[in-house]
Structure 1
Amino acid sequence: MLEQHVPLRMILGEGPVWDGQLGRLFWVDITSGALYRLNPETGEHRVFHVDEALACVAVHPAGGFLAGLRSGLWRLDDEANKLELLAPGPQQPELAWCNDARCDRHGRLWIGTKHAEESHPEGALFSFQGDFRHHLDGITISNGLAFSPDDAWLYHADTPNRIVHRHPFDIEQGSIGPGEVFIDLNQLDIDGHPDGAAVDENGHYWLALYGGGAVAHFDEHGNLLERHRLMAPNPTKVTFGDADRCTLYVTTANQGLTDEQLEGLPESGSLFSMRVETPGLPDQRYQPPEG
């Protein structure tokens, strides 16, 4: 079972990223514009803030971060101070905001957007390496981004429809093909909606079930193997960390919970973790374009 790792009261904790070079875990609280940093060896964690909603970060090789904010993609320094706006958001902020993101092994940032009101399929999927490239339309809440170990597949979910698709992936060209259903939660007797995900070295897909109070573990064919419960109803995203990448870290949210619910589930909004047998694939750093 997943256990509380860092007690927090995050409104919308999201986007955990493990940087193996630094030996640090980073994650965000979107609503409060907070960036967290954890040293697992000492247990020390710090929090920094930006002046707007912060959806996701990727470690930048020159130091600091590439960050998806409400206004677009920014370079941040190590303490989340804004250095440079690299690109305005790929869509108008009144229409859609940056949401889930992950870098591929060539250092492209793949980033999906969500409809500002989370009610219409106005979001999209993009990649960024100096400029935005459009890949998919008709998304309400983009989530579940991950890659197979051989880079043959890109995984992606649109949270409200409870389906994870996989797309043929050409890492050299940075392109994807038509999607096919990989996991259909509507066909399984489990609660929750697909949120953030990660893949391990066996090609297994680990998915946070928002509203389902669990992380679901699927094999490389999309078959459900197990569910791992946690004492928070809204897990948001997973990643594999520590030196051996055998600690599964999970962010959670307490948004939408009543005071009575929070009293009964006081760990909601915390960072959770558990040890696993198979290492996860490493989180990649962003790589700026050459020249």
Structure 2
Amino acid sequence: MTFVEGPVTATVPATSANLGPGFDSLGLALGLRDELVAEVVDDGLEVAVEGAGAGEVPLDESHLVVRAMRAAFDAIGAQPPGLRLACHNVIPHARGLGSSSAAIVGGLVLARGLVAGGELILDDDAVFRLAAELEGHPDNVAPAFYGGFTISGREDGEFFSVNASVDPRISAVVFVPPTGVKTEVARGLLPERVPHADAAADAGRTALLVAALGGRPEHLLRATRDYLHQEYRRPAMPESLALVDELRADGFAALVSGAGPTVLTFSDGVDSAYTAKLADRCPAGWGCQALAIDLEGARVV
């Protein structure tokens, strides 16, 4: 096994899962990217983090990017003698924008890029499956790796993902609150059972959302109506759900991004008047960004 000389750089996009009704199945890659740089060294482990998570995440073997890299090296069949890793993070942590999936996918892609012929040993399907296993579910890792709009799940113990089309007119505006909510807290608020009528309504909205994103954006408001998870999570993120309610009442296709508490609203271009109107609705103390849909997914630069 041969490791490449010099550093390798990988970038990976932020993602939004669920998109309203598509609980644990729909995901969308967004134009906001973390950058990871790594190289094989003679011995030891050196980790540096800038941006989101700096001073908070561990700088040892328990760092999520390092754990993902180790898993990839194990799958390839060789561990390097030493590693130097630098993470330049712009994806907010614990905000429902897929920071953990970006770390996992980025680590896997980075490790594969450090091995000569790594793509032949660990192909894309294998990377996706490994990412989904590490994350525990595929709805964020699928768009982080493949880019664009993905429909993913697990059947008979096997993870799957299918890309669906996204109308080029569609973009997103994200409203990011100053404090986060842990995914396990948000999931802990969900009931074990929901009414059959709510499940049926959610299935219909999910199907409509695939059509709306694919070329019928005029249906996005109706298509992003959720019946399964957002209302149950209100106690953990009341300000986010209040913003969703306000925006939807005024005709904007707003939803909770992933497990929250970021609010995502679909728009018609990062520089449009509609997007500017949305940006004016940003609550005091929150961050607001207009983002394009990322169609590339994770890549080695």
Same fold at TM > 0.5: no
* Higher Cα radius of gyration: 2
* More relative contact order, 1 or 2 (CA 8 Å, 6+ apart): 2
Q: Which has the higher helix share?
A: 2
Q: Which has the higher strand share?
A: 1
TM-score, structure 2 as length reference: 0.31
TM-score, structure 1 as length reference: 0.31
